């Protein structure tokens, strides 16, 4: 096996001190430009590689941040990660990304991997079925900051970045009410997660605001999958009193449900007005285009990463008692417009 080139080898070959070589490779201002070029060229010629592992042992920093997400095959999560990566790269951090596949068991394994990889901080959007904070406690004990985003867990030592899901749920439902809908069905996800529980609260507030009775038979908790969208359409088709409005907490599920209803002969929005959530690309390619809630994923990623790095660098005072709340926006399209403005 060929011997690894070291700083001492470079120093001997160039007749310089190891300290000079080390400083030049780290772009120290005390070393003149010609010497830096000479050392860099010789290092490249001989295949010198910086021993970052040894450097990390000295500084106790890896310049790596862990990110755990429910799924990578999500347009929303892709935009969040893009925002995170932009900020991380600007500050010289690398990202180690794992997906929990909506499983607390896998999330626990992810967290262990992150801890063993000595990440400097951890950012998490929790899985559907996560009930325990235990697998994050080790980070808190070792003073490794943990920040939750989108799907969060409340903890006095952890920051959080979210949108106002309760208000977004209210706005979506109120829009359907304003279109004349009076029997609105809400399809949600696992209510252990703040995003779905809060959207449901917004739905209930909008219904109560119109003095309409709350019919719990019109609240369905699902996994918001494509298959769930088809099942919902079948259930609606079999109902004696059918809903005239449908608020589904996920665009893909809403789009599949809408197509299944159309296949059964329902006119959208005349028979059933539909609103989704997330502003995924699918919302603009279905017919009619889907009314939805814009979820600022890219901004969420940038905000979460800026907050984390600010905490690590000591440049940002973090108040963990209140989450950072980003603005969302209702985007009205043809799937829900029943009353044209004159």
Q: What is the DSSP string of 100-164?
A: -TT-HHHHHHHHHHHHHTT-SEEEE---TT----HHHHHHHHTT--EEEESS----TT-EEEEE-
Token pair of 138 as six digits: 């080790």
Task: Please state the separation of Cα 96 from the chain's center in Å.
Answer: 14
* pLDDT, position 62: 84
Q: How confident is the model at residue 94 (pLDDT cuts 50, 70, 90)?
A: very high
Handedness of CA 107, 161, 329, 248 (dihedral sign): positive
Name the nearest CA neighbour of 243 among 256, 258, 263.
Answer: 258
Q: What is the pLDDT of residues 121-144, one digit of tens each?
A: 999 999 999 999 999 999 999 999
Q: 218: which residues sit within 8 A by CB, 6+ positions away?
A: 183, 184, 185, 186, 243
CA atoms in the 13 A half-sphere facing the CB of 31: 20
Confidence check: pLDDT of 109 > 80: yes
Token pair of 321 as six digits: 């008692």
Confidence check: pLDDT of 290 > 70: yes
Give the helix, strand, coil percentages of the chain, each rounded to 5: 45, 15, 40
In order of start, what are the domains of the chain with their CATH numbers?
A: 7-50 (no CATH), 63-164+297-328 (3.40.50.2300), 165-294+330-336 (3.40.50.2300)
Q: What is the pLDDT of residues 214-248, one digit of tens each?
A: 999 999 999 999 999 999 999 999 999 999 999 99
C-beta of residue 248 within 8 angstroms of C-beta of residue 187: yes
């Amino acid at each position: 096996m060929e011997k690894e080139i070291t700083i001492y080898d470079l120093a001997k070959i160039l007749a310089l001190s190891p300290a000079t070589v080390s400083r030049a490779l780290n772009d120290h201002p005390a070393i003149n430009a010609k010497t830096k070029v000479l050392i860099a060229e010789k290092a490249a010629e001989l295949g010198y590689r910086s021993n970052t592992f040894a450097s990390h042992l000295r500084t106790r920093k890896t310049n790596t941040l862990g990110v755990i997400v429910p799924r990578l095959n999500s347009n929303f999560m892709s935009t969040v990660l893009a925002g995170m990566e932009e900020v991380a790269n600007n500050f010289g951090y690398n990202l180690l990304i794992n997906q929990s596949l909506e499983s607390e068991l896998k999330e626990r394994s992810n967290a262990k991997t992150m801890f063993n990889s000595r990440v400097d901080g951890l950012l998490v959007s929790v899985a559907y079925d996560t009930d325990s904070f235990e697998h994050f406690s080790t980070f808190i004990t070792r003073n490794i900051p943990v920040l939750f985003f989108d799907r969060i867990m409340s903890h006095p030592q952890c920051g959080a970045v979210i949108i106002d899901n309760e208000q977004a749920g209210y706005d979506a439902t109120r829009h359907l009410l304003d279109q004349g809908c009076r029997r609105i069905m809400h399809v949600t996800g696992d209510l252990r997660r703040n995003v779905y529980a809060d959207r449901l609260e917004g739905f209930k507030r909008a219904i109560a605001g119109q003095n309409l009775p709350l019919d719990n038979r019109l609240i369905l908790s699902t996994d918001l999958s494509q298959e769930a969208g088809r099942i919902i359409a079948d259930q609606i088709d079999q109902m004696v009193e059918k809903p005239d409005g449908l608020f589904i907490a996920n665009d893909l599920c809403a789009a599949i449900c809408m197509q299944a209803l159309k296949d059964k002969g329902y006119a959208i929005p005349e028979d059933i007005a539909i609103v989704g959530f997330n502003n995924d690309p699918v919302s603009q390619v279905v017919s009619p285009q889907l009314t939805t809630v814009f979820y600022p994923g890219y901004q969420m990623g940038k905000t979460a990463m800026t907050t984390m790095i600010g905490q690590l660098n000591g440049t940002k005072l973090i108040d963990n008692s209140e989450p950072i709340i980003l603005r969302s926006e209702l985007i009205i399209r043809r799937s829900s417009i029943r009353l044209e403005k004159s």
